[in-house]
Each structure stands twice: as structure tokens, then as C-alpha cells.
Amino acid sequence: MAKLKRKPRISGREEAQIAREAMPATAARAASRAAYVRPPPSVQICFRCSPELADRLSDLARQKGGTRELIVGLLQQAGIPVPAIDVERPDMRRRRRVG
């Protein structure tokens, strides 16, 4: 049976040297994937109402493209400033975990 030889361990100093040597070659390359930007924290809002009001809100929200868009539109019509993060539609796609 053949004996397996261990690879020599690389010290932190040697790793840094390898990184410095490779840096000019890899600095010009584009990133393989876009950096993930964490969205700001959000708060969920819930309230109770009559079925009639819920149906009306549902119909209006369907016309506007969603409940968030309905509320943002009503606030903007009333002249109340709305943060840009709430005006834009959020990206609801799930991201794959890498690694």
C-alpha cells in the first residue's frame, strides 16, 4: 500500500505573498457575480377591518399592482414624502446559497 504524502502547509506570510503576486493579474477582471446589497430593515403592518373594506382595498390594490403600490400612491397624492426604497418594487426573487 502506497503511503500518502501530506502537502506542505502554507503560512500566512506565504499566502499574502501569493495574493500580492496574483493581484495585478486578477485586478483587471470583472467580478464573477454582482455583490449582494442587503436591503434596509422593513416592518410588517397588519390591521383588522370589515370584509367590505378588505374587498375594496383588494380591488384597488389589484388595479395599482399591489397593496404597497396602492398605499404609496395614496400617500404621494396626499403630499406626504415616501422613501425611494418604498416607491420602487422590491426584488422578491429567492437567492441560491453559494458554498
Residue 36 lies in a domain: no
Range of the domain at 56: 47-89
Residue 67 lies in a domain: yes
Residue 69 lies in a domain: yes
Residue 21 lies in a domain: no
Residue 24 lies in a domain: no
Per-residue model confidence (pLDDT) at position 41: 79
pLDDT band at 38 (very low <50, low <70, confident <90, very high): confident
Q: Which residue from 71, 65, 77, 81 is spatially nearest to 45, judged by alpha carbons? A: 71
Say what percent of the chain tops pLDDT 70.
Answer: 76
Residue 35 lies in a domain: no
Per-residue model confidence (pLDDT) at position 31: 60
Assign residue 66 a region (left: φ > 0; alpha: ψ between -120 and 50; beta: otherwise): left
Assign residue 23 a region (left: φ > 0; alpha: ψ between -120 and 50; beta: otherwise): alpha
Does this model's pTM top 0.75? My answer is no
| Domain count across the chain | 1
Residue 73 lies in a domain: yes
Query: What are the two backbone dihedrals, phi and then psi, of residue 72, each rounded to the nearest 5 degrees?
Result: -60, -45
73-87, pLDDT tens digit by residue?
A: 999 999 999 988 888
Number of helices (H) and strands (E), helices first, in the chain?
4, 0
In a 3-state reduction of DSSP, which class is residue 97?
coil
